[in-house]
Amino acid sequence: MVSDGSRPVAVLVGPPGSGKTTVGRALAERLGLDLHDTDLAIEAATGRSIPDIFIEDGEPVFRDLERAEVARALSATTGVLALGGGAVMDPTTRSALGGHTVVFLDVGIADASKRIGFDQSRPLLAVNPRASWVALMKRRRPVYEGVATHVVDTAGRTPEDVAEQIAGLIGEPR
């Protein structure tokens, strides 16, 4: 198996709509492992949705929760780990990703908009969603690429197809 038993086999990063959770599920299933999604873990731990945390406590509080959850998950997860889209913008998190197999799920705005619909559940995209997503990607793309061991384009592809490619990249036979 691809895991050494003490770290995630793959850490998925990318913007909203890239398929981190969906592809993560498909990859975990393919490898017979668990998926740990940091956004879902934060919601479970706080009993609140990410948008509610943003609205009620503000982005800095959410980012503190996220930083702590990512650090915990990097040391405790032995399956597939999906990070929230903005997690890599934190310097501490970027540093913690060193030595891990990080897969940047790349996507363009056309596919991202089909997948997430740019609804109100995305706090950073609430005002002028398309322009906000483009600006977000302009800021984040160099960071995603900088932490990535592998870059996988998800545009127009099924989660299973993307998972198959990732499995091949991380050493799981196709």
**Predicted local distance difference test score (pLDDT) of residue 3:** 46
Mean pLDDT by 10 residues, the chain (174 residues): 69 89 96 96 96 91 96 95 95 96 82 54 53 81 95 92 96 63
CATH number for the domain spanning 68: value is 3.40.50.300
In a domain, 153, yes or no: yes
Crossing angle for the helix pair 59-76 and 38-46, to the nearest 10 degrees: 110
**Predicted local distance difference test score (pLDDT) of residue 174:** 47
Which residue range(s) make up the domain with 54? 10-164
**Predicted local distance difference test score (pLDDT) of residue 17:** 77
In a domain, 31, yes or no: yes
Annotate 71-102 with DSSP letters as a single string: HHHHHH--SEEE--TTGGGSHHHHHHTTTS-E
Structure tokens at 158: 């099924």
Report the domain count for the chain. Answer: 1
**Secondary structure of 109-155 in the HEC alphabet?**
HHHHHHHHCCCCCCHHHCCCHHHHHHHHHHHHHHHHHHHCCEEEECC
In a domain, 145, yes or no: yes
**Predicted local distance difference test score (pLDDT) of residue 113:** 58
**Predicted local distance difference test score (pLDDT) of residue 124:** 46
What angle is formed at CA 146 by the lines to CA 39 and CA 79, rounded to 5 degrees?
40
In a domain, 59, yes or no: yes
> pTM for this one?
0.86
137 CB neighbour count, 10 Å cutoff? 20
Crossing angle for the helix pair 38-46 and 50-57, to the nearest 10 degrees: 60
- Given a contact cutoff of 8 angstroms between Cβ atoms, the answer to whether 55 and 47 are in contact is no
In a domain, 169, yes or no: no
